[in-house]
Amino acid sequence: MPALWIAHVTVTDDEAYAKYAKLAGPAIAKHGGHFIARGGRYVQLEGKERPRNVVAQFPSLEAAEACYHSPEYQAALGHARGASERELMVVETTE
């Protein structure tokens, strides 16, 4: 069953976060993920507003989780830590 990787982000250091983004995209693609939404327009209806919202689709929840724990993504994540405040979740779709 496909799964969605959903991130809500407030970037606090643009330069460091750009390094994260440069490495994260290839790591996500390597695990079968592709971006559906990446920093586009949004309307906050409830909860804490984060100005950057990203959704990537993976072939499965397991593939998304494997991506997160992969050496490639962890290397990217090292640039995001301290450069952003973020929440990340993976949820299976109903398809």
End-to-end CA separation in angstroms for the chain: 7
Two tokens at 36? 């559906």
pLDDT of amino acid 76: 96
pTM: 0.90
Q: Residue 34: exposed, middle, or buried by beta-carbon count in 10 A (0-12, 13-18, 19+)?
A: exposed
Tally the domains of the chain: 1
Residue 43 phi, psi (nearest 5): -125, 120
- Give the structural domain span for 86: 3-41+48-92
Average of per-residue pLDDT across 30-59: 95
Average of per-residue pLDDT across 24-50: 95
Q: What is the mean pLDDT of the chain?
A: 96
pLDDT > 80? residue 95: no
Here the CATH number for the domain that contains residue 61 is 3.30.70.100
Query: How far apart, in whole angstroms, are the C-alpha atoms of residue 57 and residue 93?
Result: 9
